[in-house]
Structure 1
């Protein structure tokens, strides 16, 4: 089968299209013919090995010293079940599915084996494979953190980085839960964020949200570009700060946790099961969640796709067509 192989750490052109062995599903696995995948910030970090210096050694141990241990990147996908292991009960040949594959990567390929009890679910019936492939990481992340914050109807939520993948989903899911949502983004994305249901939008290039005198029950940092002190200034005394990008707190965060009643929830892995995807499928099919796609590329254009995402200005998601079958 064809796959995009990451031969070493480095710039986008370390990604090469190669012929590799087609995987065989284990007894509890399904073999998915991949129709579409995406380029996420996680793929960029792994390919380029862009990690803070303090995480260099543990990251090398986890990811690989000289090159990525998982040579085929790709953290989410949508496709069709081609075959199943003998113990599989939940899926059958021909099922249209979408899944997160970040535990083992591997979505940049024509075929991928997935455990049936992992984060894999039947694809929403009303969207394309490309749209479905863009849900399992960004939307699942947004849902996980908003649930961790115990978001309630009527609460005020600020989403910083509201036009990115996680941010566009966070705005919509927070609205679904009944929150009053303020989205922070750049000038060019204000209308997009409004169209997703944000009650207010703030252009970070023109004004600092923390100087407006508003306070929020939840501040959701989706891109780690805001000032932590500004967030604390605008967070209610018993509010919750969510940061999906930082796994360990800095000194200022530790001090806040020790000296205030504010809750800080930092980057952590969401459960590796299908519950969240099943919930998100219902949101999509009921019209309460849409997928924002910035650009689409062919699998042969993966280097260009990585170059674009690496610039850090994508709106929503960047998808990769692996096989030409765009309609469900």
Structure 2
């Protein structure tokens, strides 16, 4: 099969299209013919081996997983032993987690990490959902505990996670404030945001409006500024994978480390968001999508052989919403 492989850490130029052996599903796994795969900030962090401490699990000298890509949508080709809920021919979507491998024509994935594709979404839209959607869902529900009537601020509302978080927060009955740049104000408002703050002209931390939940997807503001936007007993949710900071993730990592320490001494809830593939979350995302409450926004699509160009576009911070690979 064709796949985008990487044998050393580095810039997008380290990624090459190559012929590799197609995977064979083991017990409990399914083989999926990939129709679309989505890019995430995770992909270029893994590509560059950033931060350095992550190489302890990804591979100290070179990536253990040669093929990049987590999110995918496609059709099941074959299934391994003991697979009960998925059959050949099923249209599915899912997240490979740290195993990677979605930038390829075929991928093997545990049955528990895939779900039926939302019937009303294209493969490209479905591929855009798993990691970004799970991040938004966990940030708002599992961690943020958003309830109807809550006021929610989303810093980074025009990104891959942010565009989904705006829609999910509205579906949960919240009043939503989205923070973005000038060119994305119209997009964020069209997704249902009640208030939009253009950070090039306004500072959300200096507004009188306070929020029960602040979901920070960028890592570009201090803890003091983020907490200033909260109600006295509000919750700050920190997610560190959103933005490329001059070639390093160290900015968001440092913010999260400080947040964990500060959480022991302040009234505000300060929580760190971590995500993992989950059939339950995929099913919830599918339900929202099929009910018309959640529609992924796609900025650009690229063919498989242009994955390096797609990642270059993503990490240069030009992308808004999702960048998707067609296979």
The TM tier, using the shorter chain, reads over 0.9
Cα distance in 1, alignment partners of residues 131 and 265 from structure 2: 33
For residue 266 of structure 1, the aligned residue among 272, 281, 299 is: 272
2:104 alignment partner, one of 96, 105, 109: 109
Q: Which residue of 2 aligns with 1:133?
A: 127
1:187 aligns with 2:182: yes
Counterparts of 1:255 and 1:234 in 2: how far apart (Å)? 19
- Quote the residue 1:93 is aligned against: 88
Q: Give 1:34's aligned residue.
A: 34
Instruction: State how far apart, in whole Å, the 2-side matches of 1:138 and 1:218 are.
Output: 18
Q: Tell me the residue number matched to 2:48.
A: 48
1:326 counterpart residue number: none
Q: Which residue of 1 aligns with 2:55?
A: 60
Secondary structure of 1:158's aligned partner? strand
User: What is the alpha-carbon distance in structure 2 between the residues aligned to residue 295 and residue 89 of structure 1?
Assistant: 36
Q: CA deviation at 1:258?
A: 2.7
Flag as ranges the 4+ runs of structure 1 deviating above 3 A.
246-252
- Residue number in structure 2 paired with 1:280: 285
Q: Tell me what 2:222 maps to.
A: 227
Q: Report the alpha carbon displacement of residue 250 of structure 1 after superposing the two structures with TM.
A: 5.6
Q: Distance in 2 between matches of 1:41 and 1:297?
A: 16
- Evaluate the alpha carbon distance shift between residue 251 and residue 103 of structure 1 in structure 2; reply closer, same or farther with a 3 A threshold: closer
Cα distance per residue 1:20-72 (max 9 Å; x no partner): 11111012111000011012100011111232xxxx2x312111122111110
Is 2:1 the counterpart of 1:6? no
| TM superposition shift of 1:314 | 1.1
Provide the C-alpha distance between the structure 1 equivalents of 2:85 and 2:28, rounded to a whole number of angstroms: 10
How many Å separate the matches in 2 of 1:10 and 1:251?
A: 26
How far 1:106 moved relative to its partner?
0.5
The equivalent residue for 1:76 is: 71
Q: Tell me how far apart the structure 1 counterparts of residues 307 and 262 of structure 2 sit (CA, whole Å).
A: 42
Q: Quick check: 1:294 aligned with 2:289?
A: no
1:247–1:267 Cα contact (<8 Å) kept: no
Return closer, same or farther for 1:305/1:281 CA change in 2, 3 Å cut-off: same
1:202 to 191, 197, 212: 197
The answer to whether the 8 A contact 2:4-2:16 is kept is yes
Partner of 2:262: 256
Kindly report the root-mean-square deviation, in angstroms, between the aligned alpha carbons of the 2 structures.
1.4
* 1:278-328 per-position Cα deviation (integer Å, ceiling 9, x unaligned): 111111111100110000000011111011001013111000001xxxxxx
Q: Does the 8 Å contact 1:249/1:266 carry over to 2?
A: no
Counting matched residue pairs gives 315
* Gap runs ≥5 in structure 1: 323-328
TM-score normalised by length of structure 2? 0.93
After superposition, what is the alpha-carbon deviation per residue over 1:138-189, rounded to whole angstroms, capped at 9, x for unaligned? 0111001111111110011000000001111111101100000000000000
- Distance (Å, rounded) in 1 between the aligned partners of 2:262 and 2:127: 38
2:158 matched to 1:163? yes
Assess, with a 3 A threshold, how the Cα gap between structure 1 residues 250 and 298 changes in structure 2: closer, same or farther: closer
